[in-house]
Amino acid sequence: MKWYKKETVYQIYPRSFQDSNGDGIGDLQGIISRLDYLKSLGVGIIWLSPIYQSPMDDNGYDISDYQKIHPDYGTMKDFNELLKKVHEKGLKLVMDLVINHTSDEHPWFLEAKASKKSPKHDYYIWKDQPNNWTGFFGGKAWEYNPETKEYYLHLFSKKQPDLNWENPTLREEIKKMLRFWLDKGVDGFRCDVINLLSKTPGLPKGKPSIALCGHEHYINGPRIHEYLQELKRDVFNHYDCFTVGECVFLNPKQALTYIENEKELNMVFQFQHMAADNFFIKWFPIKYRPIRLKKALSRWQNEVNPTGWNTLYLENHDQPRSVSRFGSMKYHYESATALATLFLFQRGTPFIYEGQEIGMTNAPFTNLEDYQDVETHSIYHQFVKIFGHKGMMKKIMKMSRDHARTPMQWNSEENAGFTNGKPWLKVNPNYQTINVKQDETNEKSIQSFYKAILLLRKNHKALIMGDYQEYDEKNPHIFFYTRSHEGETFTIVGNLTSKPRKCPKVPLIENLILSNVKEHKQVLDPYEIRVYHKEK
């Protein structure tokens, strides 16, 4: 079994993790200083959100030099030191790979936009007249370029022009860049919006739609498999590395076209369970119901196994905090640990996002100015005419990506121990009570629970590769499943609500080996979770 299936990944958002020089921005030396913490949690792989040269329109998802480190984060020397120390500790390092688009300040784009005759012009996607496509941050996906009197495509901000993957020279440049990082020793890539690379030739008009007009021409496009197979054949196959592709609007059947027997990517991130509290798009919230979360997770378990391998996640840098979203502040510890157990013990590679292991929550910011995220501001301006300021702030306070991006809460000192300068994004005021140091000493410690789960998973094949069987699927309050392998079985049962609920009859009960409550009754307490183990 490959290492990337056995290990748990920890995602770092470098800007918000640990500042080492007081400029209010997290950096590589900051990460180095926290490696022992990560090691002690029991994770095996670290994924860094982008640290490359960038004008930071989208916090580094707009890259202007793929082979340079942004000075905010340090230097290539710092990076080499980080990679060396990560490896010395027996950990792996995975980079973010953003190759659907670059920054509009990338030298390729600067050349491309200067003249139609520039050899780089064809690295991007142009049209004399825009079509009706819209992008992920709301509004038209085309921007006028006066120098060539054309429009360029940008599925994200207008500072993120889409690359033209039809161009073979561009593809060679990307492969060269991948080899640069792999030769340095990085262990893989999280591939940003990878299912958007291929667009329908001719860029035809899209079907009318209130959101993402034209998506049928840029999601899972006609040549996507060809491109990914080429990358795998020419680059990834030559290294002991792994790829996880972020794929927007993907169902399990489509997922298998990428990951069946790891033919193109080793695994994908999908979003269906992230719609447990919204209607398809996060800006259209509906009431969260646990059954929606359960259903989506089980669907992926049932339909992707056994020929594909899942990713398991509840949070990342684009999503609100899971305790705020699917849990409860009243039952902070119980809900954080119940959610952790539910997702971590499914079949797949678990991904933990920084701060999730101490139950960090959404930020209570009521002013638009306290949010920095480009998407948040773009969506606000797009829709404020329809929903009004109050209506928009309500949405933002629930769903802004900045909820995940507030500085990591290390201790109860100033700025939560993140920086001794002015943090680039405000610290969540609850850092006095929710922080790593405090949580460590709490009798009810969320990080200790995470450690226990990770250790259990590491030590039991059944939890890694075991078959998944869900019970009581229709129960709206309780999740309940088993994982079994060669006669060993784990039974996981938990209450996903803040009321006591009747405990279902659990098959194969033997030793109760893990729980987040002390006394076990006939009913399951709010967010109570139990894990039973039957040995071979």
Residues in touch with ligand ISL (CB under 6 A):
58, 61, 98, 136, 156, 192-193, 246, 248, 282, 317-318, 375, 401
Residue 287 Cβ vs ligand ISL, minimum distance, rounded to whole Å = 19
**Residue 156, contacted partner among Ca ion, ligand ISL, none, CB below 5-8 A by kind:** ligand ISL
Strands (DSSP E) contained in 306-385 are 311-313, 349-353
**How many CB atoms are located within 10 Å of the residue 172 CB?**
11
- CA–CA gap between residue 462 and residue 501 (Å, rounded): 28
**Residue 23 interacting partner from ligand ISL, Ca ion, none (CB closer than 5 to 8 Å by kind):** Ca ion
Q: Using CB distances below 5 to 8 A depending on partner kind, what does residue 25 bind out of Ca ion, ligand ISL, none?
A: Ca ion
The DSSP bridge pattern shows strands 511-515 and 9-12 to be: unpaired
Q: Which lies closer to ligand ISL via its Cβ, residue 212 or residue 434?
A: 212
Closest by Cα among 494, 513, 497, 516 to 446: 516
Distance CA 242, CA 250 (A): 20
Exactly one of 19, 62, 72, 246 is catalytic; which is it?
Answer: 246
How many C-alpha atoms does 160 have within 13 Å on its Cβ side?
A: 24
Binder of residue 92, out of ligand ISL, Ca ion, none (CB less than 5 to 8 A by kind) = none
Per-residue tokens: 144: 């006028």
Least gap, CB of 161 to ligand ISL (angstroms): 12
Instruction: Find out whether the peptide bond into 161 is cis, omega within 30 degrees of 0.
Output: no
We find the least distance from the C-beta atom of residue 231 to ligand ISL, in angstroms, to be: 18
Between 292 and 317, name the residue whose CB sits nearer to ligand ISL: 317
Choose the contact partner of 375 out of ligand ISL, Ca ion, none; CB within 5 to 8 A by kind: ligand ISL
CB of 24 to Ca ion, least distance (A): 7
Q: Which of ligand ISL, Ca ion, none binds 247 (CB below 5-8 Å, type-dependent)?
A: none
CA dist list (Å): 168 to 94, 122, 123, 372: 26, 10, 9, 37
Among the options 192, 315, 318, 354, which is catalytic?
A: 192
* Tokens found for residue 81: 């030191």
- In the residue annotation, 246 being an active-site residue is answered as yes
Phi/psi of residue 321, nearest 5 degrees: -70, 140
Comparing CB distances to ligand ISL, the nearer of 47 and 136 is 136
Minimum Å gap between C-beta 75 and Ca ion is: 12
Where on the chain is the footprint of Ca ion (CB under 5 A)?
Answer: 19, 21, 23, 25, 27
Between 19 and 58, CB nearer to ligand ISL: 58
Instruction: Name which of 419 and 515 has its Cβ closer to Ca ion.
Output: 419
- Tokens representing residue 426 in the block: 């405000």
Cβ-based nearer residue to ligand ISL, 262 or 375: 375
Helix (H) or strand (E) holding 469: strand 467-470
Reduced to 3 states (helix: H, G, I; strand: E, B; else coil), residue 323 is helix
Q: What minimum distance in Å lies between the beta carbon of 404 and ligand ISL?
A: 10
Query: CA separation (Å) from 42 to 92, 303, 382, 391, 457?
Result: 12, 29, 43, 42, 10
Residues with a known catalytic role: 192, 246
